[in-house]
């Protein structure tokens, strides 16, 4: 069984540019989550999809962040325009039932 | 006060010894508790979950939960150099599916 796949693994962009991160969950997993870890801080929840619907987006920092999940399969997280404080590692996780998270290896975003 | 607190470490233990990691949480409504292991540059990997008071053992790992004290711990017996990693405590509240993480404890097992 393929795991949760994220790409790119690394992205370096300039302040003000746009970046789109992608997550492919484990096939058949209805629940998809985005988390972020900024330097020196703990991993923090961003949002939760159930299939294509946003179940909880309380952790999204501001309206520069837009998450979508087309057809309940893969998900994208777009940051537009990127700011310096957006730098960090963005993790995606999926599960079929609550509690059974599998994390992807993350996308390291650096905004310069 | 952070919702989930861990000592950042590093916790240095000799090979073969017991590593003891602690985690406290602030929300009394928390229902599920998890320990993840994260190697540098890799994804968090679930190693233990615990839902009720007491001990839960899985191989060399034992998780302990005390809801009255809002405390969860992880013991690693017979520590190996391959156990050197950051261990993340995560808590799931009664409502919703989002995990709240502590900052992690870095463990170094020295041969």
Per residue in B53-102, pLDDT (tens digit) is 999 999 999 999 999 999 999 999 999 999 999 999 999 987 667 899 99
Q: Is the pLDDT of residue A101 over 90?
A: no
Mean pLDDT of B11-38: 95
Give CA–CA dist B64/A94, Å, rounded: 26
Rounded to an integer, what is the distance from CA B86 to the centroid of its chain?
9
Give CA–CA dist B48/A49, Å, rounded: 24
**How high is the pLDDT of residue B25?**
96
Q: Is the pLDDT of residue A98 over 80?
A: no
Q: Shortest CB distance from A104 goes to which of B2, B43, B102? A: B43
CA distance A33 to chain B (A): 8
**How high is the pLDDT of residue B97?**
78
**How high is the pLDDT of residue A99?**
60
3-class DSSP state for residue B29? coil
Among A26, A98, A101, pick the best mutation site for testing chain B contact (most B Cβ within 10 A). A101
**How high is the pLDDT of residue A1?**
62
User: What does chain B come to in residues?
Assistant: 111
Give CA–CA dist B56/B64, Å, rounded: 6
């Amino acid at each position: 069984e393929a795991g949760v796949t994220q790409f790119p693994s690394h992205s370096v962009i300039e302040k003000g540019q746009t970046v789109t991160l992608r997550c492919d969950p484990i096939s058949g997993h209805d629940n998809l989550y985005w988390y972020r870890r900024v330097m020196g801080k703990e991993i923090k929840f961003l949002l939760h999809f159930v299939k294509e619907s946003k179940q909880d987006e309380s952790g999204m920092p501001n309206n520069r962040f837009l998450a979508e999940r087309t057809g309940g399969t893969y998900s994208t997280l777009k940051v537009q325009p990127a700011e310096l404080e957006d730098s960090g590692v963005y993790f995606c996780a999926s599960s079929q039932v609550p509690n059974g998270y599998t994390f992807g290896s993350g996308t390291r975003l650096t905004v310069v | 006060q952070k919702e989930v607190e861990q000592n950042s470490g590093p916790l240095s233990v000799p090979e073969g010894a017991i590593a003891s990691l602690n985690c406290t949480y602030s929300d009394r409504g928390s229902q599920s508790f998890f320990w993840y292991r994260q190697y540098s540059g890799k994804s968090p990997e679930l190693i233990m979950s615990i839902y009720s008071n007491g001990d839960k053992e899985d191989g060399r790992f034992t998780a302990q939960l005390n809801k009255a004290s809002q405390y969860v711990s992880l013991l690693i017996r017979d520590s190996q150099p391959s156990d050197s990693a950051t261990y993340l405590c995560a808590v799931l509240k009664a409502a919703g599916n989002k995990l709240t993480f502590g900052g992690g404890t870095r463990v170094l097992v020295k041969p």
